[in-house]
Structure 1
Amino acid sequence: MTDMTPSRTDVIRTGPIRYATAERFARPRPVRDPRPSGGEICPQPPSRLDFIMGPPGDSHPQGEDCLNLAIATPARDAGARPVLVWLHGGGFSTGAGLMDWYDGGVLAAEGDVVVVSVNYRLGALGYLFLDGVSEGNLGLYDQVEALRWVRAHIAAYGGDPANVTLIGQSAGAVSARLLMELPEARGLFRRAVLQSAPLEITGRPHKESLALGRHFAETLGEDPRTAAVPSILAAQQETAMFHLRTAGRRMEPAFIPVEGVGTTPSPDASFDENVRGLDVLYGWNADDMTAFRSEGDDPAVRTREVYEEPLSRYGERLALAGARVHSYRLDWRPAGSPFGATHCLELPLLFGTRDAWRSAPMLGGTPWEETDRLGRALRSAWLTFARTGTPGDLPAPLADGPTSGPS
């Protein structure tokens, strides 16, 4: 960094901007010219992770006109800066790119980059798979459309459309993994960061997804295409409980991408061709599973099973296919927190938004100054990766994972 780096107050925030429109259960239609949006986020229930993240301090109107994004940039000039596109987590059912948690101002200021935070459809509205109603994977179609919008328009916001890094966390990281493998998304980004991606829920087989879709429709008891949003959310919640009772997979939401349909990779897709040449940084938090603890579970064992082992295998597969791969593990355990290096802990470090994160239970009693000190180190690594394709030497307590380094 140099003394020329702008302060956070110098950052220009623009949005929400509508990048596409969509009728319920239809594919998104691109918006050719940047247009202001009313700032709606996808209708959703409360997050099941409020107990570690804290409830969001901001609120946004919920509605189906939610295909919008927000931009933070140091300047609207010809700077051709690296672009970071953020896909939030939330189990494909909660969250929004417009939340204060994900304000890109600190990253934009410290790294002289452009940050784009994306909203996309969630839950049944985004991932219902039901014959004659919804083809599924609409949330992924939304993400592809947002990336196309970035390619077409980000130069006007000081960004370089040829240097885009896709960053996702949890379900957002699963989405990033799917986008890496999609021919439709090829060329829309050159780098990807996957933070705590639970790869066991990357997609669900066609038959299981259709059965859940039919249960949802039976529970709803009316046409999903015209039902009121509260009824949609109530049927979505009941379907989630049904799925938990019948499948027993606690980590898996009821509505997730469907394998081999639309924008998920088909079995005959060329994995090597799609990922060759990508720069990929992936990792997990040492105690990710303390956020999903169940009686009798050992969080260390479950973290290894759900995050470390699947991600490490995926990293090896990427490297063999010709991607340049780096990995990390976050070991920081904030003083006074009972959760350790839990799921989502890297988010306040990445975004550095003090007012949004300082009361998060997962941070314990850690002074914000300590959080920000580590955050600056993490942000520096991610920003270096966005510029060069390598994060450089990772500082403690960011540990190199088993496949760290270029491959």
Structure 2
Amino acid sequence: MIVSTTSGRVRGRKRDGSYYFGAIPYAGASRFEKPQPVEPFSDIFDATALGTVFPQPPSRLERIMGPPLPDPEQSEDSFTVTVTTPSLTGIRPVMVWLHGGGYSSGGGSLPWYDGDALSSEGDVVVVSVNYRVGVLGYLFLDGVSEGNLGVHDQIAALEWVRENIEEFGGNPNSITVFGQSAGAHSIVNLLSSNNSHPLFHRAILQSTPRVDLNFTQAAAIENGETFARLLDEDPRTAPLSRVLDAFRSTALEFSRRSPNVVQPPFAPIAELAPVTQTFEAAPDVIVGYTRDEGSAFLRDVAGATDPERVAEKALTQNMFAEPAMELADAFTATGASVYTYRFDWTPTDDVFGATHCAELPFVLGTEQSWQASPMLGSSNWPSIDALGRRMRRHWASFAHTGSPDSSETWEKYTSAQPIGITFS
């Protein structure tokens, strides 16, 4: 299947329920430079295979999620989107996925985020985005990197969607951005950027950490200077392996002085373009979190003592539950329609509870891509998929209409009814 884009023609492939286009370039950039438009293709671009991800260390939550399967190839030239669509004709809502990973790992091209089920069941076009992570995406260092490059990448990807998605059967005037953890946090940042306001129309925020995960410029400068000292050569030309080694060393040094176990060493910077203001208007949104977010950061596979569980609950409340309600209040105050949820599902051989990331296999991905995930325990895929179909139905309905699926009650958020629905 061949589709025309602003950069040239791309070839995808047909799957059982959808058409798949992997690793379509949306931009390009040299290390520590802002993304630029893609050079036109001279030949048809082959988008039939999985894409690469930006260079990164292993995820610190691998013990929760398992390793990505297959192990992805890494490349500094991973400015790509993956598009899954039920049909190349017609016009339907678009859902753009921003992955999590603590601004340090992950990639939209990972099979974890396969959009086939959501696309085919919900009649939506699903686009997943790669953006620069870690030191490559968020270093703030005078003369080297101006910071917030990962945010610029996200905006460039959304601009590509606006300009090209109609050719994939999508409606550029009906775009829902959805993301989890750092991806959801990214959406809140995009709402504070004038550059991104016209680029999406609804949002779904899954497990958004506190907004103050953003660094002040002073703190970002300190982390950048620490990285430069540990690298001890020009970051723009240093071998990638040494850049990643210095990134890991910076993370260790940062963790020793930071009391926040969720905070990564490199993240978006507040009051620095394009994250420049507090949002005054908001789209309609779904906002939610998982019941046991904190276990992902504080619990090992041996389980947890009672005092450790108390600490986990406090982390869940402070870093995820309270911020979700604060966002719901802020969005409601702008006149937006807001729907809230809590994800309570746990596997029968529960180790981590309804942990951070636990809802991901219910929205995106396949049985094969999630088969090694410890957070799912020994639960069988049909039971996971049953709840997944319910969640995907709500997500897709929201993309179509601005409201969850009407087959079950999910009232709008009010302070008197803070959780609109639970998934268990």
**Same-fold status (TM-score > 0.5):** yes
Distance 1:252 1:132 in 2: 25
Name the counterpart of 2:270.
259
1:167 and 2:172 equivalent?
Answer: no
Deviations 1:255-296 (A, max 9, x none): 000111111133xx5x214x2xx1111100001111011685
- 2:28 corresponds, among 9, 21, 32, to 21
Higher helix proportion: 1
Name the counterpart of 2:73.
61
Letter in 2 for 1:131: D
Name the counterpart of 1:324.
337
Distance 2:54 2:384 in 1: 30
Residue 108 of structure 1: how far off its partner (Å):
1.0
Residue 358 of structure 1: how far off its partner (Å):
2.8
1:104 and 2:111 equivalent?
Answer: no
Letter in 1 for 2:297: F
**CA separation of 1:396 and 1:219: change in aligned 2, threshold 3 A:** farther
**CA separation of 1:338 and 1:395: change in aligned 2, threshold 3 A:** farther
**Contact 1:25/1:125 (<8 A) preserved:** yes
RMSD: 2.3
Letter in 1 for 2:261: R
Name the counterpart of 2:5.
none
Partner of 2:237, secondary structure, is coil
Deviations 1:21-73 (A, max 9, x none): 01111110022757557933100001111111111111232111010011111
**Contact 1:154/1:161 (<8 A) preserved:** yes
**Contact 1:272/1:322 (<8 A) preserved:** no
**CA separation of 1:404 and 1:394: change in aligned 2, threshold 3 A:** farther
Name the counterpart of 1:355.
368
**Mapping of residues 1-400 of structure 1, within 5 Å:** 9-31=16-38, 39-77=51-89, 79-266=90-277, 269=278, 271-273=279-281, 275=282, 278-293=283-298, 296-297=307-308, 298=310, 299-392=312-405
**Contact 1:11/1:72 (<8 A) preserved:** yes
**Contact 1:332/1:397 (<8 A) preserved:** no
Letter in 2 for 1:303: T
**CA separation of 1:398 and 1:66: change in aligned 2, threshold 3 A:** farther
Listed as ranges, the gaps of 5+ residues in structure 1 are 1-6
The answer to which of 297-306 and 89-98 deviates more is 297-306
Partner of 1:175, secondary structure, is helix
Distance 2:74 2:327 in 1: 36
Distance 1:91 1:256 in 2: 8
**CA separation of 1:33 and 1:10: change in aligned 2, threshold 3 A:** farther
Listed as ranges, the gaps of 5+ residues in structure 2 are 1-13
**CA separation of 1:394 and 1:344: change in aligned 2, threshold 3 A:** farther
Partner of 1:312, secondary structure, is helix
Partner of 2:174, secondary structure, is strand
TM-score by length of 1: 0.91
Letter in 1 for 2:293: D
Letter in 2 for 1:82: P
Name the counterpart of 2:3.
none
Letter in 2 for 1:293: L
Percent sequence identity over matched residues?
Answer: 43
Distance 2:407 2:70 in 1: 33
Residue 302 of structure 1: how far off its partner (Å):
1.8
Distance 1:160 1:88 in 2: 22
**CA separation of 1:378 and 1:395: change in aligned 2, threshold 3 A:** farther
Letter in 1 for 2:27: A
Deviations 1:352-397 (A, max 9, x none): 5111113311111211111011000011111111111111469699
Name the counterpart of 2:10.
none
Partner of 1:163, secondary structure, is strand
**Contact 2:328/2:413 (<8 A) preserved:** no
Distance 1:95 1:66 in 2: 12
**Contact 1:173/1:197 (<8 A) preserved:** yes
Partner of 2:352, secondary structure, is coil
**Contact 2:393/2:405 (<8 A) preserved:** no
Q: Size of the alignment, in residue pairs?
A: 392
